[in-house]
A and B are shown apart, each in its own frame.
Chain A
Amino acid sequence: MQIFRSIVRRPSRSILTALGIAIGIFALVVVGALAERINLIVNGGIEYYSSRILVQEGSNSGNLFRVADPIKLDKLGDIRAVPGVRAAYPEIVTLFPDANRSGASFGQPPFIIGRDAAANANDPRPLAIRAGRDFRTGERGVAVLGEDLQKQLGVKIGETTIISGSTFIIVGVYEKNFTINDTAAVMPLADAQLLYKRATANPSTDNAPVTDLASQITVFVAEGVDPTQLAKDINQAVGNVKALDPDTFRAQVQESARLFNTIVFGAALIALLIGSLSVINTMVMAVAERTREIGIRKAIGASDGRVLRDFLAEAAVIGLLGGLMGLFFGELLIQYINLRTATNGSALFQVTPRLLVGSYGFSVVLAMLAGLGPAIKAARMLPIDALNRER
């Protein structure tokens, strides 16, 4: 009762203290939610490759962000026959040389990707549509842009753009997932084959019919099959190919997300710093403000332990209330921004339970710890020193 009395009788002081803690938690939650979102996306990128194997011509290096030498499509049948292969689709991946590269996303060049409409539809980890729609089977002259490329080109859905000399209607934008698709113009395989044929004067493909052209074959792994083992099986069963398993790509995805992660980590660190300083400053001030009161209590016979207990109990109550306030306003801001950004695609923040519990627990414990030092010091002072302390 005394605790609540003391809080209620000093509303402005209590509110200021709670606010200091609220700001700390607020900063943690908001930046934390941003980090959680990025984390989710990066994990999405890793997951994207976890369910697939890319089969390239044997001479290739296996770098995801390099254009591969063409593969002969007569191998498609052999690959589909390997046990454990759920589906296999030919795919063209080639550079998009005329896309303006200024402001490119973290050095990843623009690509042209051609694939069956059915490939994304049957993909266990399909690319999510951020805006517009995906292209359909049989459709021609359309493209869906990766989020980064769309920003770079500045084209809107429904507008046309010229890709390698041909005109395409942009029908949709894929959500960023930290894969090659982020900077790609994805189009029907047949369209990409024509562009590819036009761009490459390659003796090994010059005589081949255009419908036989592909730079790689994407294999979806059947349920319960170990992709690493399946990649080995394909390498053995099919001659002169290089089957790349998810482990090969994990590092490449993480590498491409690294700068992003560094930025987010830095922001989170700053939030933690600001949040902690706000909380610590608040508690230290709260004790300093109350030194005189502590002096009075000691002068009339309160023991050090009692002064400390009462103070920490009050700090805990204010900390818990301030924390709730911080969570509430953090959540409010996040909801608001998410609502605003949701209209043109995906949410910016991800509020996870571990984030809420983590920042709440962290701040309240920090508040208690930050209050503990100065409170012990004040509780051990001679009453007269506490009473004479200037404020």
Chain B
Amino acid sequence: MKPAIIATNLAKYYNTGKENEVRALDGVSFEVATGDLVAIIGPSGSGKSTLMHILGVLDKAQKGSLTIGDVIVEKAPRKQLPRIRAREIGFIFQGFNLLSTLTAVENVAEAAVYTGNSRRESLAKATKILEDVGLGDRLHNFPNQLSGGQQQRVAIARALVNNPTIILGDEPTGELDTVNAGKIMDLLVALNRDRGQTIILVTHNLEVAERCNTIITMRDGKIADIRRKGNHA
């Protein structure tokens, strides 16, 4: 099967040429098979978030090439990028990044509106998916009226609502206790198994990492190790 993501020699430097130059990503190449469940681990500052942002088309690499599905991102016209973000990718931020002026259901529906659903369809989809993540009774709460774990689940629901081919989670269980982190992982593992969605997670939690099929270890902006287990090539 065609890979979901091909990254070739991706690089991102901050403060290039200055004394405080940082090579956040320094020539990163790897492939993610469609339907894989990948964990990215590594010490703080090793470039995990930088990589995720580039994979999510939220940021641009300065060098290298990135292919998502059929699209070569750096060659795609500017106008196509919002479409990729909306349809191909569901991004779960570590800090949730919910819109504070919208309720839980509206936050999730907002993403559905961007793929061309009517408001009413979007709200229906959002309600359904929030029920799936166990927030059926918190639909109309604003983010500041929800616990950290509940906000995290809203953010996950938002990433899922457009049924993207790739789900990217930057420490999606980081804010959660072990019990809730386990529940979220159960959900993601089920999505990966049942719907075949490709999932890449950044995590510091080794239990979470161990539930993935591929574990990529980063160090100093480079990939230090890729460990695959099971039948994923």
Contacts and interface: CB of A to CB of B under 8 A. Distances in A.
Interface of A: 1-2, 5-6, 9-10, 293, 295-304, 306, 382-385, 387
Interface stretch (B52-60, B125-133, B207-215, B216-224): B52-60
Given A298-B85, A299-B85, A384-B58, 14 more contacts: A5-B101, A9-B102, A295-B97, A299-B97, A300-B86, A300-B91, A301-B83, A301-B114, A302-B86, A302-B114, A303-B114, A304-B82, A382-B59, A384-B53
Contacts of B162: 301
Given A300-B111, A301-B87, A303-B79, A9 B100 contact: yes
A314 B212 CA distance: 44
B48 interface: no
Nearest to B115: A301
Interface in B93-135: 93, 97-102, 106, 110-111, 114-115, 119
A345 B165 CA distance: 78
By DSSP majority rule, is chain B's interface helix, strand, loop, or mixed?
loop
Interface of B: 53, 56, 58-60, 79, 82-83, 85-87, 91, 93, 97-102, 106, 110-111, 114-115, 119, 142, 158, 162
A284 B79 CA distance: 26
Contacts of A301: 82-83, 85-87, 111, 114-115, 162
A10 B53 contact: no
A293 B107 CA distance: 12
A299 B114 contact: no
B63 to A, nearest CB: 16
Nearest to A1: B119
Nearest to B103: A5
Contacts of B86: 300-302
The winner among A1, A295, A298, A301 for most chain B CB atoms within 10 A is: A301
A302 B99 contact: no
Nearest first, the 7 A-B pairs at minimum CB distance are A301-B86, A9-B101, A301-B114, A384-B59, A383-B58, A303-B82, A301-B85
24 contacts: A1-B119, A2-B102, A2-B106, A5-B106, A6-B101, A9-B101, A298-B82, A298-B85, A300-B85, A300-B111, A300-B158, A301-B87, A301-B111, A302-B82, A302-B86, A302-B114, A303-B82, A303-B114, A304-B82, A306-B114, A382-B58, A382-B60, A383-B85, A387-B97
Contacts of A300: 85-86, 91, 110-111, 114, 158
Contact of B101 (A10, A304, A382, A387): A10
Contacts of B83: 301
Contacts of B85: 298-301, 383
Given A302-B82, A303-B79, A304-B82, A296 B58 contact: no
B56 A9 contact: no
The winner among A5, A295, A302, A383 for most chain B CB atoms within 10 A is: A383
Contacts of B98: 296
Nearest to A296: B97
Contacts of B101: 5-6, 9-10, 293
B91 to A, nearest CB: 6
Nearest to B91: A299
Contacts of A387: 58, 97
Contacts of B111: 300-301
A180 to B, nearest CB: 65
Contacts of B58: 299, 382-384, 387
Contacts of B158: 300
A289 to B, nearest CB: 12
The winner among B101, B111, B158 for most chain A CB atoms within 10 A is: B101
A297 B82 CA distance: 10
Contacts of B60: 382
Nearest to A383: B58
A5 B86 CA distance: 23
A297 B91 contact: no
Contacts of A9: 100-102, 142
Contacts of A2: 102, 106
A205 to B, nearest CB: 86
A27 B98 CA distance: 39
Nearest to B142: A9
A152 to B, nearest CB: 61
Contacts of B93: 299
A305 to B, nearest CB: 9
A9 B59 CA distance: 30
B53 to A, nearest CB: 5
B12 to A, nearest CB: 10
Contacts of B142: 9
A297 B99 CA distance: 8
A336 B79 CA distance: 55
B108 to A, nearest CB: 10
The winner among A295, A299, A385 for most chain B CB atoms within 10 A is: A299
Contacts of A385: 59
B114 A296 contact: no
Contacts of B114: 300-303, 306
B59 A296 contact: no
A325 B178 CA distance: 53
A9 B99 CA distance: 11
B97 to A, nearest CB: 5
A302 B97 CA distance: 15
A9 B107 CA distance: 14
